[in-house]
Each structure stands twice: as structure tokens, then as C-alpha cells.
Amino acid sequence: MVRHLRKRGHFPASSPEEAGLLRRIPQSCAHLWREVPDMSGLAYTLHIQHNMEYNFRDIEARWQKTWAEEGTYHVSEKTDKPKFYVLNMFPYPSGAGLHVGHPLGYIASDIYARYKRLKGFNVLNPMGYDAYGLPAEQYAIQTGQHPEKTTNENIARYRQQLDKIGFCFDWNREVRTCDPGYYKWTQWAFQKMFDSYFCRQEQKAQPISQLIAHFEAHGTEGVDSACSEELCFTAEEWKAMDEQQRYDVLMNYRIAYLGETMVNWCPALGTVLANDEVSEGLSIRGGYPVEQKKMRQWCLRVSAYSQRLLDGLDHIDWSDSIKETQRNWIGRSEGAEMQFRIKGTNETFTIFTTRADTIFGVTFMVLAPESELVQRLTTDAQRAEVEEYVKYVKGRTERERMIDHRVTGVFTGSYAVNPFTGADVPVWVSEYVLAGYGTGAIMAVPAHDSRDYAFARHFGLPVVPLIEGADVSENSFDAKEGIVQNSPAEGVETLAGFSLNGLSVKEAIARTKQFVTEQGIGRVKVNYRLRDAIFSRQRYWGEPFPVYYKQGRAVMVPEECLPLLLPEVEKFEPTATGEPPLGNAKCWAWDESKRCVVDKTLVDDVNVFPLELSTMPGFAGSSAYYLRYMDSKNDEALVSPEANAYWKNVDLYVGGSEHATGHLIYSRFWDKFLFDLGVTCMDEPFQKLVNQGMIQGRSNFVYRVKGTNTYVTLSKKSGYDVTPIHVDVNMVSNDVLDIERFKAWRPEYNDAEFILEDDGRYVCGWAVEKMSKSMFNVVNPDDIVVKYGADTLRLYEMFLGPVEQSKPWDTNGIDGCFRFLRKAWSLFWEKDGENLIVEDSEPTRESLKTLHKLIKKVGEDIEVFSYNTSIPAFMVAVSELQQQKCRSRAILEQFVVLMAPFTPHFSEELWHAMGHTTSVCDAQWPEVCEEYLKEDSVTLGVQFNGKVRFSMDFPADATPEQMRELAESAPEARKHLDGMQVVKVVAVPRRIVNFVVKPGPKN
């Protein structure tokens, strides 16, 4: 009957939507079409129906509906069970929809969440949307559509797609960063940061009121706080300050502050970007040039937390590589600050060095061109030259400076005095010294620093080696090793007779630091590369700052008035005056007496004041969302103390490693700040982190644009009608296709046309790249779900390889997973596919062994996220149970539970079919019984001189002596032992027997 239908092509789709998807299959599964070119889409699905006692479509739709209706996945903290918090990095709902790469991490965490629930934990597994962001706004500018509209549409689509995969998300707790009920707390946290400063002694944030009290009593005496600039004043001076001066002083300490800083300005995007949003002088989004510009911006004093961010890494379970990336990004370096006097004056300036030991090799000093010291130190004679040089440097873009490391610089005319020897050292200006790091000035030791070396050679400055055996004729000797000499050189008098000669470099560094401190020349100092985060964006689609400006000074909107809603605007582009899009908002001023937003024409600077026009960056909303999930409906607090005390922090966080220096730093910073405030009880937000690999898209055909090195995917070039081809990687070397081999492999392409380049090479192949709309290579999970079902998709994505690994998407092999599920299904049913086979019989010992092997393996694998190895274990178990003709309920029921984390619909269906009335989610994970795993005998290899010659069975409990005897007496052993002398025998129970032999009489 089915065959008949198939031939006629009359199988109905179950809904219009499904019919649409069925029709789409051909485009997305080119390889299947190639194999059966004359087939229609409907006929193909019929082929699946034909073999389908396992009716996944019906099963999955039914259970998804039931789960939603019954609230199977809703969790509450009102329970005695221990908690477990699983979290995925929430997605940005882009217009392209979900692709097969997204679910990889979601599936991995879903399996873990379900497993933990079966193990008796109360599992929180929420989901939400990182809904603010640039693409929605760009789209709004182009089409005039409100970003909220497109964002909501995209979210609806994401939700639909997610629902089809059968995740155990508690949607009651959904958050969206653009939802006022959510961003109220983003704004709230910002205000708390404004009202706090960071005390270095206590290494924590404190209310700014404490600092004010301290200033009133003692001035800056005894203040050790993170700040933009070290200040020094007395209590009297503080009291004498006017409002503006005090405002400026406090701004210097606030954790959220307005700062005049060099920022990454992207003219094309019309906004400022954070360091992690820029790569090689180009914006990550869009790849537009980014320039350095001094602007007044809101900043977060992330750098204050450098040490805590660093120390915290030792207590969390993240991969070494991502910890290392964060350590690099934080960039702690221990060194010393030293003061140098300028010859002929009483002026001094400070430098930072990690190689204090090389003080005797200093032959010049260098200032950063942007440093204010340049003005002070340049002599009149050199002024013209220096000014011209500074102008030249300003004209170079960040990108140019990065790519092209030129050796340039000029002499300032001044000399510094070496505090150890009194020697004169010329002071230069050069672009290789960065204003933003250390003090913006260095002491140059060309013998032991390659950059100083290049500079010295270029300008003919002396090179003085200080380490025994160091050859500096060609290169500097940068290694921090060896024995110090020439420090000082013979006959040179030094301050207090100081000498480092004969010490190791390590000792010399320590010695110098100590000396510098004792003599008051300088101090030990730790520098961090981590910069404060610039927090303003000149965009529309983001959280508005709850800030207005009174006499030019920032004032916070009262906390009770939050959230400050994002205003409506007519145009999303920046205004003609260069103001951010919020400059277009009519109703965007704060009335202090009415305590509400009013029309900006009412601004009178008495009661009504202008509101901030910037919005917050993407990372604002994603920094504390994990806390909000704990208590997402709470209007009184970001999270209640009770909810926080129960859920604590995220036990397992799953997401991409590309967030290593962005979200994962900001989130940790934000959490630590909230920890200081007492809002959260945990100092780290994410205890364990698993970075799922990217599933890359595969461009079917790649060709080189003539005369360039640019490769373009075929689909990008319109009107070029060539069949997309998957090419095996070993058919391609240096991007050139071996056309003969290719045609031999795929004869159907004998007639295909290949693009021939000018140089006679065929350029072809596939490129593996990010799956994205712009690459036209998005594989939609819906297509897979329609064809094979969610459970097969889940299984297959996990079977593909280790979760952490990136891999190209490839549907070869998905059939294997589907077949496996059908085979597993058939374990439970009579041949007719209608009657359950399961009976209450006593399980055989063999089946018990199969089951318990499986329990052990799968349990161990899930704990370490090795899902790709547990699936083969299921396959083996199914084959064994099939062979054993197992019908025992005791075995099959537990098998269903073991499968449940991987294939929830499949398991739920069978669980109920076997008579259960509650969800398989609430079953109990079976315990391994070692008793059943015991083997009577083990098959081991027998080696001669380390080479396995044969294998044989040994009793499991054989002693080494017995093993030796058994192996020796085996018939296969004779030919390896005859005429040989046994030198030694190594027999390890349950492992190996190895005879070490050499020619000679048998002994």
C-alpha cells in the first residue's frame, strides 16, 4: 500500500507548513538529490514513512505538546532537592534564524540537565534572548521598521525552532534584555556602580559616601582606591572645593564614570566600540575602519578588578586555553616604577619597567608621543622637530601603527639622570612607546630589549650588554636568564655602592626592587593590560542611561523611577549634528519635580534637564542575566536573597569560546561587583564552563576572483549556473582541485564544467567557515527535524565528535543515527509494530551485563561531556539485546531511562507505552551493579618482545604466574618459544603477558 502511494506520489503532508518544509528539502540536501535525481520531495519522505513503525513525527509533536501543557520543565526553588544550574549563552535573535550550530551546545547542556534531574537534582535550565544589538538597528535604519518589531519576530521564530528540538527549558523564566522589566536591573546596576568606588586595600567596591566621609576627615591621606588619576589633597582643601570640583574628584573614583579617554571610534557605524569589539583596527561587526578619538564617555572601572579577575580563575573549572586567554587579556606584569630627574632641573618623571636589573644598561629614555611629558621635556631647540613628529604620529591610524612597525622617533633635547650612576641619558620620543600603558615612558636598555635594540641601531645609540656571554652584535638578548655583569662597569661609582654583578637575573631584579624602594627612587608596581570598558554607544537599540545633566553634571534618575524607558524616535540614524539617535527623540528630558520624562523643548535647567543620549553596549544586558533567571519575575530586586541563596551560581555554563575576552570578562566583573554589594552570594558567576565548538558551514564551491587572492563562494556570485559540489578535502591541494581524481571519484561530473584559471589551475573545493546568512550556508535544523525527527538530530549532533571541537556540518551519517533509533525502537515491539514485546520475565544474566555495562559507560561519559562515546555504547547495547532476544521489562525500562537525556521523545513514548503515567524525566537514573559486570575470563594479547602474536582467554583472577604458565602452554606459543631463551616474563593481570626472548637454548 505504502509503495503504491509512493509511486503515485500522493502522500499527504500533515499541515500546510510541513508541506512547505517538505518542498524545501531538495535545496538543502543536494547530495541526496544527486543520488536519486528523478525523485520528488514528497516521494522522498514517503520512503521514510515506508519503514516507519517508529513514527517520530507523531511522537515528538505529541510529547512536546504534553510537556508544555503539563509544565514538565517548570522548576521552583521550594524543594528539598539539591540544586543544579545549567545555562546556555543566550542567543542574539538574528534574522537568519537558528542554524544547526546553535543547538550543538543546547543539546549538550540539555542532556546534562536531564541527566542531573534523573539523578535527583532540582535542575534550572532557562533560556532567553540577548535582544539588543546592532543588526536589528541597522535593519531599522534601512527599512524604517522599528527594531522592536523585527526583534520580536525573530524571537518568535527562534522559539518555534527551539521548541521542535525538545529542550527542557523552563520558559516561565525567559528573559529578554530589551524588556523594560529586565533592563530596569541593568540600569539599576549601573547606578550602583556610579555610587561606588573600589577600595584597593579591601579589594572590593564600597559606597562612594564612605570615600566622601574620608575626604572630609583626612583628604586623600590613606586613600588607596582605583582611580583614573592619583590625586592628593587635604581635608581642608576638600572642604574648600566647590560643587563642580567635588564632582570632578569623585568622578575620578566612581566605578561607573564619565571619562575623557581615547576611544575606538568607528565612523561607519557611528559609534564607539569596546576593545574586544575591534580587531586589527577594524570593527568586528562589519569590518569598518576604527580610529582613535578622544571623547567623553561613560566607562566602567573594570581594571580595578584586575587582580580579582585573575585570582578567580584559579577556582573555576574552565579550560586552560580560555583561562590563559583571560590571563593574557588581563596582562598582569610585576615590575618597578622608578623616578628619573631631568638634568639641570628639579623636575622628575616616572617610568615602569619589569627589568629593573638592567638599570646599568640604560642608554636612552623614550616617551610616548601622546604623553604630556613631551611638552615638559622638549627643549626650545628641539621643539619644532618634536612637534612635527607628534603631528606625524597623530596622522597614523591605529591600523597603520599596528601593521607597520616603523622605527621612528626624535630627540627631545633633554637628558635624564640615571639615579644609580648619575650618568646623563638622552630622552627621546617614539611611537613604539604607548601612552596608555604604564606611565607612558620607558628606560631603554637596547642590549636586552629587542624594540630598544632596533631603535638604538637605527639612531646610532650605544648598546651596553649586562649579561655574561650575551652576544648583542646582531640581536638583543631578551631572555630573563644568565649572570649579571657590567652592573656597574669597572670604575663606575654608584649610589650607596650598589652592585648587581655575579647575581642571576632573577636575584638582580629582586635586589634592585628592594634597593629602589629603600632609597626612595621608586616603588614596586604591578601593571595590568586590562583597560576600563567604554560603556557608551551612540546607537538607538540599547538600554538608555538613567542619567540626566544638571549644569553639565551627571545626575542619576531616582531609583524608584526605573526603568527609564527607551524613547520612541522617528529616525534611527544619528542626527545631523552628530548626536546619537536618541537626539531624535522628542520626549527625552527629565523633569525633576514631576519625576518623569517630558518633552525636551521644556528643558529649562531649573526643573527640566536633558537626558543622556547614548545607550549601553551589548555586554550590559548579558552581564547579569544568569542572576535574573533565578527570579525573573521579581519587581523588587534583580534577584531575591532567597532565590539567590538557593541557586547560588551557574554550575554548568555552555557557550562559544569567542566570548573569552568580552562577555566572560564583563560578566565576571559585574558579578564581583554585585557580590561586593551583597546581591549575590557567589564571587564567580560560572563554576564550570564548556566551550562547544562551532559547527561550520561548508561553501559548496569556491573560486578565486581573478587576479586576486580573494575566494568567494559560488552562491555569492549570482547568475553563475554551476551545480554545487562537495569535494573531498584530499582532492584539493593549495586550493586547487585534482580534476582527474575528482572525476574518477564522482563520475557523474565527467561532463561538468570547471573554472579554469589563467595559470592553468582549476580552483575549486569547499571552504569551511562560520555558518552565517552572508555565506549562504546556513543549515536549518527544521529541515533535519522534519526528515528525521528531533531525537535523531540530537543524537547525530552529539555523535559528530567531541562537543568542544569545531567541525564542518555534514549530513553523511545522519542515517546511521536514524537507523539506530529504529533498531532500538524495534526492541520493544512485535513485528507488526503494534504490540509491545515487553514482558515481566526474569532478565538473563547476559542482558543484565549488557545493561549494567551501559549504565556505567553512559554515566561516566555524561559526567565528562563525552557524548560522542556514549552513543556507540547505546548502539552496542541494542545489538546485544537484540541478539539476546531480550524481552524483560527490568532491562528495557532502564534502557529507556538511560536514553531519555539523549532522546527524550523516544523515551517518553516507550516509558508510557510500558504503562507509566508520569514523565520519564522524573524516573530514577539506574545504579550500576558491579556484580553483573564481573567477567569469568578475559581475552588478552600475548606478546613476544613487545609484539602481540596471538590472543587467548585467561581466567579473570589468574595470578601472573598462572598467566605465564597458561600462555606458555598455548599451542600458538610454541613457535615463538622454540629455540629461544626466555629472558624475562611480564604478566599483568587483566592487561598483558609479554615474553622477552632471545635466541638461545630453552631454559
Partner RNA sequence: GCGCUUGUGGCGAAAUUGGUAGACGCGCUAGACUUAGGAUCUAGUGUCUUGCGACGUAGGGGUUCGAGUCCCCUCAAGCGCACCA
* 529-568 positions binding RNA, by CB under 7 A: 529
677-710 in b/e burial notation, b at 16+ Cβ within 10 A? bebbebbbbbbebbbbbbbbbbbbbbbbeeeeee
Binding to RNA by residue 884, rule CB under 7 A?
A: no
| Residue with smaller CB distance to RNA, 704 or 823 | 823
Binding to RNA by residue 943, rule CB under 7 A?
A: yes
Least spacing, CB of residue 321 vs RNA, in Å = 3
Cell of residue 475, nine digits: 640581536
Least spacing, CB of residue 405 vs RNA, in Å = 4
- Cα 737 from Cα 900, distance rounded (Å): 45
- Cα 955 from Cα 243, distance rounded (Å): 89
Q: Of 441-449, 504-512, 576-584, 635-643, which segment contacts RNA by CB under 7 A?
A: 441-449
Q: Which of residues 214-273 bind RNA (CB under 7 A)?
A: none
Cell of residue 833, nine digits: 509494530
From residue 405 to residue 424, the character string flagging contacts with RNA as x (rule: CB under 7 A) and all else as - is xx------------------
- Cα 436 from Cα 256, distance rounded (Å): 19
Contact 416, 344 (CB under 8 A): no
Show Cβ contacts of residue 285 under 8 Å, excluding neighbours closer than 6 positions. 134, 135, 269, 277
Q: Which of residues 184-223 bind RNA (CB under 7 A)?
A: none
Binding to RNA by residue 438, rule CB under 7 A?
A: yes
- Cα 574 from Cα 266, distance rounded (Å): 13
| Residue with smaller CB distance to RNA, 109 or 657 | 657
Answer for which of 413, 567, 802, 955 binds RNA (CB under 7 A) is 802
Spatial CA neighbour of 366 closest among 444, 292, 423, 309: 444
| Residue with smaller CB distance to RNA, 259 or 335 | 335
- Cα 179 from Cα 157, distance rounded (Å): 18
Least spacing, CB of residue 743 vs RNA, in Å = 16
Estimate to the nearest angstrom the gap between the alpha carbon of 805 and the chain centroid: 13
Q: Of 53-61, 123-131, 681-689, 809-817, which segment contacts RNA by CB under 7 A?
A: 809-817
Binding to RNA by residue 524, rule CB under 7 A?
A: no
Answer for which of 872, 915, 960, 979 binds RNA (CB under 7 A) is 872
Answer for which of 575, 869, 884, 962 binds RNA (CB under 7 A) is 869
- Cα 524 from Cα 81, distance rounded (Å): 51
Answer for which of 728, 757, 880, 968 binds RNA (CB under 7 A) is 728
From residue 615 to residue 654, the character string flagging contacts with RNA as x (rule: CB under 7 A) and all else as - is ----------------------------------------
- The SS3 call for residue 40 is coil
Q: Of 157-165, 292-300, 635-643, 939-947, which segment contacts RNA by CB under 7 A?
A: 939-947
Binding to RNA by residue 800, rule CB under 7 A?
A: yes
Least spacing, CB of residue 701 vs RNA, in Å = 18
Binding to RNA by residue 666, rule CB under 7 A?
A: no
| Residue with smaller CB distance to RNA, 597 or 798 | 798
| Residue with smaller CB distance to RNA, 320 or 840 | 320
> What are 726's strand-pairing partners?
none
Q: Which of residues 445-474 bind RNA (CB under 7 A)?
A: 445, 449, 451
* 56-60, Cβ contacts within 8 angstroms, sequence gap of 24 or more: 56/788, 56/789, 56/790, 56/791, 56/792, 56/821, 56/905, 56/906, 57/14, 57/786, 57/789, 59/789, 59/905, 59/906, 59/909, 60/164, 60/166, 60/785, 60/789, 60/790, 60/791, 60/905
Binding to RNA by residue 83, rule CB under 7 A?
A: no
Task: Give the binding-site size for RNA (rule: CB under 7 A).
Answer: 93
Contact 528, 332 (CB under 8 A): yes
Question: In the 3-class helix/strand/coil scheme, how is 397-463 assigned residue by residue?
Answer: CHHHHHHCCCCCCEEEEEEEECCCCCCEEEEEECCCCCCCCCCCEEEECHHHCHHHHHHHHHHCCCC
Helix (DSSP H) and strand (DSSP E) numbers for the chain: 34, 35
Q: Which of residues 34-63 bind RNA (CB under 7 A)?
A: 35-36, 39, 43-44, 46-47, 50-51
Binding to RNA by residue 816, rule CB under 7 A?
A: yes
Least spacing, CB of residue 407 vs RNA, in Å = 7
Binding to RNA by residue 364, rule CB under 7 A?
A: no
Answer for which of 27, 143, 209, 279 binds RNA (CB under 7 A) is 279
Q: Which of residues 837-866 bind RNA (CB under 7 A)?
A: 866
Show Cβ contacts of residue 946 under 8 Å, excluding neighbours closer than 6 positions. 994
- Cα 870 from Cα 867, distance rounded (Å): 5
Binding to RNA by residue 772, rule CB under 7 A?
A: no
Place of cell 543588526: 135
Q: What's the start-to-end Cα distance of the chain, in Å?
A: 76
From residue 282 to residue 311, the character string flagging contacts with RNA as x (rule: CB under 7 A) and all else as - is ------------------------------
